[in-house]
Amino acid sequence: MKFTIDHFNINVLDLEKSLAFYEKALGLKEIKRKKAEDGRYIIVFLSDDSSGSKLELTWLKAMDRPYNLGDEEFHIAFKTNDFDAAHKHHKEMNCICFENHEMGIYFIKDPDGYWLEIVPVR
């Protein structure tokens, strides 16, 4: 029996703001959208067009406050083939929230406060 990661879900407060961030920061594109007939949720799947894994953004109409991310001890990691250019881009976007020079990685924060790790292809 073999398993592969299909998608990872995060809930977002402002769907359009999140979609713009993920496209600008990471180049992720919308590949699928599902809306509830009664308008209570919208689910959008994003893809990097190469790995097969997807990021699912879920917007819930009833949510009227920022999500509680607890101790923020979780993150999603993204590899890049041009770490220096990515770092420069994210610095210009002012979304870098933590750098670990010893490990050669850094983290960016999305509009809802989720941490996203950026690692070089090794």
Question: Each residue of 47-63: pLDDT tens digit?
Answer: 998 888 899 999 999 99
What confidence score (pLDDT) does residue 73 get? 77
- Which residue(s) pair with 119 in the sheet? 79
Judge whether residue 23 has pLDDT over 80.
yes
Q: What is the pLDDT of residues 1-19, one digit of tens each?
A: 887 888 999 999 999 999 9
As to burial, measured by CB atoms within 10 angstroms (0-12 exposed, 13-18 middle, 19+ buried), residue 116 is buried
The rounded Cα 32 to chain-centroid distance in angstroms is 16
Band (95; pLDDT cuts 50, 70, 90): very high
CATH number belonging to domain 7-63+73-120: 3.10.180.10
Q: What is the mean pLDDT of the chain?
A: 94
DSSP 9-70: EEEES-HHHHHHHHHHHH--EEEEEEE-TTSSEEEEEEE-SSSS-EEEEEEETT--S----T
